[in-house]
């Protein structure tokens, strides 16, 4: 029982290793795993909601046409900034508008806020309203072009370079936090490393296993001490209930779980001696293997998720993304 969590998380880590597979060209394989999701903030220049939707559709076509489309929530995004270079009101009946727009495509990490690459070009459009003129210009943005190849490759290279070059710093930060018993914060740092950077990610997962184990062991010791104190206060029904509230939080995979079970048995025996009734309490028990593994994996992930104000699927930090403007 004491080794269950370590074994489970080690299995999880190994499964990631098998998924990534061994290779002799790590950078190429890592780059091939990078996918982008089209993202358009709610405020992009003077774009109306209709024009925003059109821009997002163009961005989606770019990533799809180049074979790098990611699922919704993917942390790496392709977004765009639009600046009006010229705006002309044409003396037609009715009045028409003509725009020259500078479009800047940007690829970055919407979780950390790192911007990795950008590409600017001009597009023109005209229409009988501002929205139609914008729509005309946006529709002229091609979904596939040779100029995108260098842009996309540059972004992929920089993403990998950033996390590979800074991997030791992430690991060191997590180690420092761990040594200060800031386990949730340490796991959050490690959870911020994307899985596209195989070597760094696997090192992070190895450390998550160790830190999570330290966390639940420390919490178990504290809970066990508090439960003993609660019980020893009067060793009656009320004391038993108070101890039960504390014992209920002990992870069955922690090292002191057996000691917690001994205390629970001791309390149950005393309660039966006092009034000949069974103490209606049980420590957390192992569920069937499938449910237990799913629950434990989720628990390990949720630590970093909660501390980083993030979800298993990336939630875009719009404050950081707006900083690219």
pLDDT tens, residue order, the chain (325 aa): 444 333 333 333 433 443 333 333 344 467 667 888 888 877 666 678 888 899 999 999 998 888 887 766 677 889 998 889 999 998 888 899 999 999 999 999 887 788 999 999 999 999 999 899 999 999 999 888 888 889 998 998 898 888 889 999 999 999 999 999 999 889 888 887 888 788 888 888 888 878 888 999 999 999 999 999 999 999 999 999 999 999 999 988 889 999 999 999 999 999 988 887 888 787 876 555 556 555 555 666 666 555 554 433 444 555 556 567 6
46 and 151 belong to one structural domain: yes
Among 142, 165, 188, residue at a domain's last position: 165
125 DSSP β-pair partners = 99
176 and 288 belong to one structural domain: yes
156 and 288 belong to one structural domain: no
| Structure-block tokens of residue 128 | 């009988």
Question: How distant is the alpha carbon of residue 218 from its chain centre?
Answer: 25
The reply to whether 23 falls in a domain is: no
User: H or E stretch including 219?
Assistant: helix 198-232
Q: Which domain holds residue 117?
A: 34-165
The reply to whether 322 falls in a domain is: no
Phi and psi angles of residue 5, each rounded to the nearest 5 degrees, phi first: -65, -45
The reply to whether 155 falls in a domain is: yes
What is the model's pTM? 0.63
The reply to whether 292 falls in a domain is: yes
The reply to whether 225 falls in a domain is: yes
- Give the C-alpha separation, 40 to 56, whole Å: 6
102 and 205 belong to one structural domain: no
User: In total, how many domains does the chain have?
Assistant: 2
Among 143, 165, 187, residue at a domain's last position: 165
47 and 123 belong to one structural domain: yes
Coil, helix or strand for 87?
strand
Among 165, 183, 214, residue at a domain's last position: 165
194 and 159 belong to one structural domain: no
144 and 241 belong to one structural domain: no
182 and 285 belong to one structural domain: yes
- CATH number for position 124: 3.30.160
194 and 295 belong to one structural domain: yes
159 and 209 belong to one structural domain: no
| Structure-block tokens of residue 59 | 């961005």
- Give the C-alpha separation, 248 to 149, whole Å: 56
110 and 171 belong to one structural domain: no
Question: Which DSSP symbol is given to 235?
Answer: -
The reply to whether 2 falls in a domain is: no
Question: What does the chain come to in residues?
Answer: 325
């Amino acid at each position: 029982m004491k080794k269950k969590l370590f074994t489970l998380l080690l299995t999880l880590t190994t499964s990631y290793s098998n998924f990534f597979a061994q290779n002799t060209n790590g950078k190429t394989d890592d780059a091939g795993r990078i996918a982008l999701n089209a993202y358009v903030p709610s405020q992009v220049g003077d774009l109306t909601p209709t024009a925003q939707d059109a821009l997002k559709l163009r961005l989606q076509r770019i990533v799809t046409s180049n074979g790098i489309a990611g699922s919704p929530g993917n942390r790496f995004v392709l977004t765009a900034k639009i600046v009006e270079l010229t705006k002309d009101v044409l003396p037609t009946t009715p009045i028409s508008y003509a725009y020259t727009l500078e479009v800047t495509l940007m690829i970055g990490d919407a979780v950390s806020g790192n911007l990795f690459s950008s590409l600017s070009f001009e597009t023109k459009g005209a229409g009988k309203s501002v929205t139609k003129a914008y729509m005309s210009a946006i529709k002229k943005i091609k979904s596939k072009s040779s100029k995108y190849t260098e842009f996309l490759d540059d972004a992929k290279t920089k993403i990998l370079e950033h996390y590979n070059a800074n991997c030791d710093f992430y690991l060191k930060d997590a180690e420092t936090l761990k040594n200060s018993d800031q386990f949730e914060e340490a796991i959050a740092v490690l959870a911020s490393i994307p899985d596209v950077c195989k070597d760094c990610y696997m090192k992070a997962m190895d450390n998550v296993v160790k830190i999570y184990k330290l966390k639940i062991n420390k919490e178990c010791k504290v809970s066990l001490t508090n439960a003993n104190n609660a019980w020893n206060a009067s060793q009656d029904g009320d004391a038993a209930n108070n101890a039960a509230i504390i014992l209920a939080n002990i992870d069955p995979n922690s090292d002191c779980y057996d000691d917690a079970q001994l205390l629970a048995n001791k309390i149950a025996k005393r309660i039966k001696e006092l009034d000949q009734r069974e103490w209606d309490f049980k420590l957390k028990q192992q569920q069937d293997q499938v449910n237990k593994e799913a629950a434990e994996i989720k628990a390990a992930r949720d630590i970093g998720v909660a501390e980083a104000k993030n979800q298993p699927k990336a939630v875009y930090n719009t404050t950081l993304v707006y900083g690219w403007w």
